Amino acid sequence: MTAVMEEAIPMNLRHPRHYRLKFPEDFLTDNLGGMIWFGIEGISAGSAVLNHEEESQEMKPLAAELHKQLNTVRDRLKNQSLRNINIYPKKVINELIELDRLWSEFELRYVNLLTELKSPTSVEDGQLLAVMFSEAIDRALKSDLITSAELECFDPTVFFAVPRLAILYCISGCHEEEFENDFNSDMTIPLMFNSFREELQEIKLLLREVGDEDLSQLEIDLSNQNNKVVKTAAKEASVNNDSIGMASQASVSNSDGDDIKYTALKVVQVQGNSDILHELFVKISSIADRLHHIHAEDIRSALQKSIKVNLLSKPSHSDGDMNQSVAEEKNELSTPLEVLTTNENSSSSNDGDKMHRTVNEVQHERPQELQNDLIQPPSWVPDSRCDACTFCEATFTVLRRKHHCRNCGKIFCKNCVSASKKIPRLGFNRPVKVCQECFNNE
């Protein structure tokens, strides 16, 4: 029924589903429709959600009305399918719009009974976190800290590297005054970072002591799980601390006075770049790991959204892939001709090197009469210009996909392009998809 509503109801008449942003991730699955249908059947029959008997009784009239509307729509669709399955009359569309409204209202109230919905502040916080992660992914890709292949396969290392890099980039772009008070909704830092405000302030102070090269090294360290540099820095830090500590003890034992003690303590606090980098790595990683533990669902959701946005923002190559597939099929046809030309030339020459000529040379020397036998395939109609089948005019949906006829290039549904035949004049020496009209005319 959901697929029918998506196909029949125009998008501007669909009841909005923005409230689903408040749903926990566990509910946003393919089983959500089945769970809602189970609730409709149960509550309309008099059942109640556990520990929510009073609220269930209040929802019973809505569930009964929705159940009745479902049966009405089913009857109308059944009768319409006996007349014409490809169109939806205005009465049917109006019934579907009413069903869509009742369904969304029941869905929101029913899920609210089963679990606690997110507050608007929590939703905005999650969106802000997704923006942070998305910007971190974009910078990491440009710096080759992570690869597109790791994003596409959801590599586990990305789930550790992105939050750490996002924290680093966020702190680097903030002013020190922002860490003096609790974060608020007007700032670019998510409110969930409030519990780490003092640690973030310390990181901001440490970042003032490192240069651009050290900062680049820190980015590499944070994005690499098998980090040898950090381990080396940790060893160097321990050695330096031991030597500084011994020096300070000697200075204190051999001297008297508060000034000498103060100087010794000041020497202990002096650290090299490797020590600072190691401390930054530990602090940032600690915050990221605790975020994973405390806000696991929010972190996972924000990571998935930011990765999907990054993958979807890549330029589409649908038309290029289509042309490439056509070219590949033409090349399959041209292979025997290339072999024929090569054999003819090799028989009239004793030079063995001519047998290894490039494909471009062979095609250039192809007989003119063989070139004239092939014609250029017609340009395919772009997917964006066609929303319905050219023959039966059925609207394309998620379930009804688009298919191109290899002969005329027009777009049809699967049923109208089910025929197949060879088209040697276009370079297809094996059966390919064609529409019924092209199949009958040739």
Average pLDDT over residues 327-331: 43
Kindly list the domain boundaries of the chain, sorted by start residue: 2-114, 121-312, 318-441
Read off the pLDDT band of 62 (50, 70, 90): very high
Instruction: Please write the tens of the pLDDT for every residue from 177-229.
Output: 666 666 665 566 787 888 888 888 888 888 888 888 888 888 888 887 544 44
Read off the pLDDT band of 247 (50, 70, 90): very low
Average pLDDT over residues 353-359: 36
Top-ranked range on mean pLDDT: pick from 183-192, 255-264, 285-294? 285-294
Percent of the chain with pLDDT over 70: 71
Instruction: Please write the tens of the pLDDT for every residue from 395-425.
Output: 887 667 788 888 888 998 888 887 888 888 8
> What is the pLDDT at residue 103?
92
CA distances to 265, 407, 433, 437 from 420, in Å: 85, 10, 5, 12
What is the b/e burial string over 405-433, where b = at least 16 CB atoms within 10 angstroms of the residue's CB?
bbbbebbbbeebbebeeebeebbbbeebb
331 versus 35: which is more confidently predicted? 35
> What is the pLDDT at residue 407?
87
State which CATH number among 3.30.300.90, 3.40.140.10, 3.40.190.10, 3.30.40.10 fits the domain covering 318-441. 3.30.40.10
- Whether the per-residue pLDDT at 329 is higher than 50: the answer is no
Average pLDDT over residues 329-357: 39
> What is the pLDDT at residue 66?
92
